[in-house]
Structure 1
């Protein structure tokens, strides 16, 4: 099995655009029904053994608790109520409008009284068109979705290992439905003053200093092809002059700041792709943390903070 398969954006562009909107529809229900967490940690999807999940969501006003799972092995969407009832439908053959009807109808059938508060795409070109009227996006190539799911799983495992190396505040590994990327974020303890004009989503996400690392599948704005990335916010002076590893990694400008980028195709066939990706994340973190003056005592290689275990591992 090719654990890091090729997935150029043009090879599944139509499917990606459809699937992205499917995820946004379900994600907006998660947003409406979940308990708010700092930095919006309640909103993204988490991975399962066969796809992605909202996790148990609620309780609603009537006590209902439910979860929604994308099963990318069977290519179905499954809604499960805590009382044991469940229903599912296939992902193939649906437009975005058809998916919206099937999903909201399934929620109603199971007695789950929740709908997206704003049933429109977020930050996409057709943001003014309701999901219920989108019959344009209707592609679903199961082979491409399987490759997407395979990559997502492998990147998640790399990010879990990377996350284990820091003992400070660290987010879970999230799959963000609004930007269609997967990431983990490390935090310092310092607050970041935000102007009153900054939108509330950004104010909450960046209320502390962060170094975020992740992977996206390519878009028209940040980078056109799949790539691993990292950024530091607020960005310290001189960040883009710091070295990155491996040699194919680079700093690139993005909306007035800089992203560290490692193209997916430059590393996926390496003899030890995971090690190369971790080198990239570590080098980008060191660059940002050093310039921003983060504490130096929070790195914990191997996820070990127990001093007896740590010191024993250093013994000759």
Structure 2
């Protein structure tokens, strides 16, 4: 398969909007049924060979241990328990309301009770409408849904390769359901004092100084898929730092700046993987350098921290 196949937002926007809400329903179940982790790492999805998964979850003594998996090859949602019992819900032909109904019926049939404190979309235009009442979003193109997973899988491997170069505190490479992006984050572990009016989601996500890297499929403010990076809190002068390749640029967004490399420019390169790795590295050098990180101390070339173990030639591995 072609590395980074075409994924114009306009060609699958309807499917994306439906899938985004499907993912938020499952993500909110994960939030309610998992042990909380720093920076909300417990709520994210991880990729599989057919889609992505919540990973095992369940409240001890109250629920069976269960997982929920999106299968973008067979185009179904699969709810499985530790004893091997599974119930599947088809993805095509569903509105958000019907998907919500069938998923919670499957959970009940498996003896799982999950209550969502806020059963509505998070940070989407229809955030006031309950999932159970959304019959508007009902598009599902199997080919586009499968392509979405393929792109995520390819980007995930590039992010994993990039992640190997840093030995400090890092997040997994994981898929966020609130914004439908895939990301990896590096931390300096300096504490960040958030203003008193900042909400709990942001306070926990940005409680430590960080540089984050990822990919998302585009939205109303940036209408194309793109690789991105940002530094939080943003150091002065960040948007004046150089980025590579030439197509990369700084974009003002929500009072700060994103380093952005359009997906179309990356996939047009002779070596897209190297171009994306170079972009992430330039964004890291910009953010970490401006923030005063000791980048040499954090270096882990090829995922190796001991200099005596690092290969020195092509035949030493």
Structure-1-length-normalised TM-score: 0.97
The match for 1:149 is 149
The match for 1:163 is 163
Query: 1:90: which partner in 2?
Result: 90
Residue equivalent to 1:284: 283
Q: Which whole-Å deviations, capped at 9, do the CAs of 1:71-117 have from their partners, x for residues lacking one?
A: 01110000011122111021000000010001000000111111322
Question: Within 2, Cα distance between the matches of 1:311 and 1:56?
Answer: 37
Distance 2:12 2:48 in 1: 23
Q: Does 1:259 align with 2:258?
A: yes
Query: 1:43 maps to which residue?
Result: 43
User: Unmatched 5+ residue regions in structure 1?
Assistant: none
CA distance in 1, matches of 2:120, 2:61: 24
1:177 maps to what in 2?
177
Q: Distance in 2 between matches of 1:70 and 1:115?
A: 21
- Residue 195 of structure 1 aligns to a residue whose secondary structure is coil
SS at match of 1:218: coil
For residues 115 and 61 of structure 1, the distance between their equivalents in structure 2, rounded to whole angstroms, comes to: 16
Matched residues in 2 for 1:138 and 1:315: separation? 54
CA distance in 1, matches of 2:94, 2:193: 45
Q: CA RMSD in A?
A: 1.5
- Residues 1:249 and 2:248 are matched in the alignment: yes
8 A contact 2:63–2:111 mirrored in 1: no
C-alpha contact 2:182 2:216 (8 A) present in aligned 1: yes
Deviations 1:278-302 (A, max 9, x none): 0000000000101100122111111
Give the Cα separation in 1 of the matches to 2:27 and 2:116: 8
The match for 1:21 is 21
Which digits, 9 at most, give the CA deviation of each residue in 1:209-234, with x for residues without a partner?
0100000000013x211000000000
Taking the TM superposition and a 5 Å limit, the aligned residue runs for 1:130-141 are 130-141=130-141
1:188·1:294 contact (CA, 8 Å) conserved in 2?
Answer: yes
Structure 1 segment 71-220 matched on structure 2, within 5 A: 71-220=71-220
**Contact 1:44/1:175 (CA < 8 Å) preserved in 2?**
yes
| Deviation readout 1:129-180 (Å, 9 max, x if unpaired) | 1101100000000111111111100000000001111000000011000001
Counterpart residue number, 1:3:
3
Match of 1:227 in 2: 226
Q: TM-score, normalised by structure 2?
A: 0.96
